[in-house]
Structure 1
Amino acid sequence: MTSITAKALAFRRLHVRGEPIVLYNIWDAGSAAVVARSGAKAIATGSWSVAAAQGYGDGEEMPLDDVLAVVRRVVRNVNVPVTVDFEGGYAVEPALVTENVRRLLQLNVVGLNLEDQVVNGLGLYSVREQVERLEAVRKAADDAGVPAFINARTDVFLKAEASIDHAALLDEALLREKAYAKAGADGFFVPGLADIVLVRKLCERASLPINVMAPDDPVRIREFVKLGVSRISLGPAPFFTMTADLERRARAAALAA
């Protein structure tokens, strides 16, 4: 068994209902090393944070080559499994998604997120379109011989209008979860869904491990743990925490002069 295969299988085993892996998302090799020293079992990038740390906006504004350069340094700087927020795969067509994921997997990552919103477009991909894109990701992983954990992200809740009750979207999310599972997804990521009752219902009805996004708050994280989720991501929250503290300290230093 190769080292990357062992890491990928170890990462897969961390997705346990009611005993979730908590991912304190990082943005570069330095932040990855700090989180790894904390005892983290795995490292996850956050696309918003990676882009912001390099002066870009989110939504694939950062060139793919630059993203891969950051990922390469992260992987080299830690010994634990690394998973990558790969946004929309930096492509629309499935064949190009396959090629981009192949490039990513060559860096020895153990997994990736693929979202179903149309990056820099309107709305979400249809279920059929996203299934084809997820099948393209699975093809890249199979071709590479890596049991990569494919985390299928749906933006059904995140992109919903504020006036729409999230309860009314649960059936659509479950429809997508079922289709994505058949396409080869290993997990189902639902950023934007925070209602305790709905998260519990989703965990009870879905076949895939459920991944939620939590704020940088241990109390809220413990709440999600009790709902039966298998993975908790903090997204850009760690970056916000760090930059807010940096700004506060810089302002205090300037005032002290």
Structure 2
Amino acid sequence: MTDLKDRAERLRELHGGEMLVLPNAWDAASAAVVAEAGFPAVATASNAIAAMLGYPDGEGAPWQEMFAAAGRVARAVSVPVTVDAEAGYLMQPRELVDRLLEIGAVGCNLEDSDHRAGGLADAEKHAEWLAGVRSAAGDADVPIVINARVDTFLPSSGIPEPERLPEAIRRGRLYREAGADCIYPIAVRSKADIAELVAELPGPVNGNTGEELDLATLRGLGVARVSYGPRFYHAGIAGFRAAVQELRA
């Protein structure tokens, strides 16, 4: 637990200095590539891990298989690992924290999509659950870094476009008050939107690169953390597919 506590504290520190860039991994080999390149932490991508295991995204894979794969990532590197734990797999906070620590993870993404009912989870109830995760991590004496994902910008959220930004701000504030360390408004594509989110949300904000948003732009806007989700996994599969198809030409 002492080693896990040290890694968790290191991961938290990384959210307060130079922008933390996380090229997401999906297995031990990809995690080793990220760590060997000099990145100070490794993040997993649930979409990529589910695809690798043969399941759909959105908690379509059994949590046991997802955590087993994430555990292999954590064992492959000596840097802190944060796990994309989707919406928490209906686990109670203490169970989720225990499972994360069992596999050697010291951070987690927790999203506010409701994969069973569709749309978004009730924000107040989700904030209460996040507060439980924060409390359980405290009881375990490992300050797990919680990256609370806000899904209002996803089409599946059902939120009308004009309401996505204010609702993301409302939810992000609730989640920070509940104990989240970083807020992740996924799928924001506009420079103006991410700038307002950084200005309006207390604490670190996780962004994504895109047409308007390269790393330099995100850094200039004050984004604390950048992640890539399954982007590199899908790029690798696309390259493999093209190479295999050439063999049939």
TM class by smaller structure: over 0.9
- Looking at structure 2, the residues matched to 254 and 186 of structure 1 have their Cα atoms a distance apart, in angstroms, of 50
Identity %: 39
Aligned partner of 1:175 among 158, 167, 170:
170
Deviation at 1:221, TM superposition (A): 2.6
Contact between 2:40 and 2:80, CA under 8 Å: does it hold in 1? Answer: yes
Is residue 2:11 matched to residue 1:2? Answer: no
Q: Secondary structure at the match of 2:237?
A: helix
Residue identity in the other structure for 1:197:
A
Residue identity in the other structure for 2:154:
L
2:40 alignment counterpart: 41
2:59 alignment counterpart: 60
Deviation at 1:79, TM superposition (A): 0.6
What do the CA deviations read for 1:73-106 (whole angstroms, capped 9, x no partner)?
A: 1111101110000001000xxx624313321222
Q: Secondary structure at the match of 2:72?
A: helix
* 5+ long unaligned stretches in structure 1: none
Contact between 1:188 and 1:209, CA under 8 Å: does it hold in 2? Answer: yes
- Looking at structure 2, the residues matched to 253 and 22 of structure 1 have their Cα atoms a distance apart, in angstroms, of 36
Is residue 2:125 matched to residue 1:129? Answer: yes
* 5+ long unaligned stretches in structure 2: none
Contact between 2:25 and 2:42, CA under 8 Å: does it hold in 1? Answer: yes
Contact between 2:198 and 2:205, CA under 8 Å: does it hold in 1? Answer: yes
1:226 alignment counterpart: 220
Q: Secondary structure at the match of 1:226?
A: helix
Q: Secondary structure at the match of 2:214?
A: helix
RMSD: 2.2
Residue identity in the other structure for 1:244:
A
Is residue 2:145 matched to residue 1:142? Answer: no
Cα distance change of structure 1 residues 8 and 248 upon mapping to structure 2, 3 Å threshold: same
Q: Secondary structure at the match of 2:58?
A: coil
- Kindly report which structure 2 residues correspond to 1:77-92, keeping only aligned pairs within 5 A, or say none: 77-91=76-90
Moved over 3 A (4+): 159-166
Deviation at 1:124, TM superposition (A): 1.1
Residue identity in the other structure for 2:44:
T
Work out the number of aligned pairs and report it: 249
Deviation at 1:161, TM superposition (A): 7.3
Residue identity in the other structure for 1:213:
N
- Kindly report which structure 2 residues correspond to 1:93-108, keeping only aligned pairs within 5 A, or say none: 96-108=92-104
Deviation at 1:162, TM superposition (A): 9.2
Deviation at 1:144, TM superposition (A): 1.5
1:244 alignment counterpart: 238
1:212 alignment counterpart: 207
2:74 alignment counterpart: 75
Deviation at 1:48, TM superposition (A): 0.3
- Looking at structure 2, the residues matched to 161 and 66 of structure 1 have their Cα atoms a distance apart, in angstroms, of 26
Q: Secondary structure at the match of 2:186?
A: coil
Answer with 189-198 or 135-144: which moved more: 135-144
Q: Secondary structure at the match of 2:183?
A: strand
TM-score, normalisation: structure 2: 0.92
What do the CA deviations read for 1:202-255 (whole angstroms, capped 9, x no partner)?
A: 11121020001235x9x7233222211000010111111111111111222333
- Looking at structure 2, the residues matched to 151 and 235 of structure 1 have their Cα atoms a distance apart, in angstroms, of 13
Contact between 1:8 and 1:110, CA under 8 Å: does it hold in 2? Answer: yes
- Looking at structure 2, the residues matched to 79 and 163 of structure 1 have their Cα atoms a distance apart, in angstroms, of 40
Contact between 1:116 and 1:124, CA under 8 Å: does it hold in 2? Answer: yes
2:106 alignment counterpart: 110
What do the CA deviations read for 1:170-212 (whole angstroms, capped 9, x no partner)?
A: 2221111211111111000011111001101111121020001
TM-score, normalisation: structure 1: 0.90
Contact between 1:150 and 1:187, CA under 8 Å: does it hold in 2? Answer: yes
Is residue 2:222 matched to residue 1:198? Answer: no
